[in-house]
A and B are shown apart, each in its own frame.
Chain A
Amino acid sequence: KAGVTQTPRYLIKTRGQQVTLSCSPISGHRSVSWYQQTPGQGLQFLFEYFSETQRNKGNFPGRFSGRQFSNSRSEMNVSTLELGDSALYLCASSWGTGFRSGNTIYFGEGSWLTVV
């Protein structure tokens, strides 16, 4: 069974631009969550989608948004990029959502974003 797939793996953007990252979950998994990993802040939760609906959202500005499609694939978008947005963005999927059915998540390899 294929794992969580994230594209692109590496990208460089200029401050002020926007970026879209894509995530394909493990087959059969309906929940997709996104995390930002930086050396200073560690791993921070961005948001979670289940059945095309955002279920949870972390403490990030509105420049960070996401969506999920009917096939459970998800995209996250960051608009008006800032230097501080440089990070590894990790996508994770789980079979369900919530505490009992969504408590174990499986990560992709991440998308490295560098903002210059």
Chain B
Amino acid sequence: AQTVTQSQPEMSVQEAETVTLSCTYDTSESDYYLFWYKQPPSRQMILVIRQEAYKQQNATENRFSVNFQKAAKSFSLKISDSQLGDAAMYFCAYIFASGTYKYIFGTGTRLKVLA
């Protein structure tokens, strides 16, 4: 079964500190894309970062970076210099080459940023 697991329902980080959100997935596919989406209180899902499975280099977007371990099927998100505006639900998701191309989402991690 194609699944995405986010084992941390909630996490807290002090402003300006670094936090890592974990995500593991289960797939037999070799070609897929992984994503982190942020959902603030406004509820709009915002794309944070995208990783192509066949690329070894970890994706980076400003303060956001991933640690992609393909063999371990792990895709963690690191947020550096955390800001109050980073407080949100974070969803890990992936889409794979075969099948119906629909996204499979994890259950989310709620991130609180403490001032």
Contacts and interface: CB of A to CB of B under 8 A. Distances in A.
A33 B100 CA distance: 12
Chain B contact patch, size range: 20 to 34
A103 B101 contact: yes
A109 interface: yes
B102 A56 contact: yes
Interface stretch (B15-23, B41-49, B80-88): B41-49
Contacts, number: 52
A99 B101 contact: yes
Main secondary structure of the interface of A (DSSP, over half): strand
Contacts of A49: none
A39 to B, nearest CB: 10
Interface stretch (A15-23, A40-48, A62-70, A72-80): A40-48
Chain A contact patch, size range: 20 to 34
Contacts of A98: 101
Interface stretch (B58-66, B68-76, B89-97): B89-97
Contacts of B108: 42
Interface of A: 33, 35, 42-43, 45, 48, 55-56, 58, 88, 90, 92, 97-99, 102-110, 112
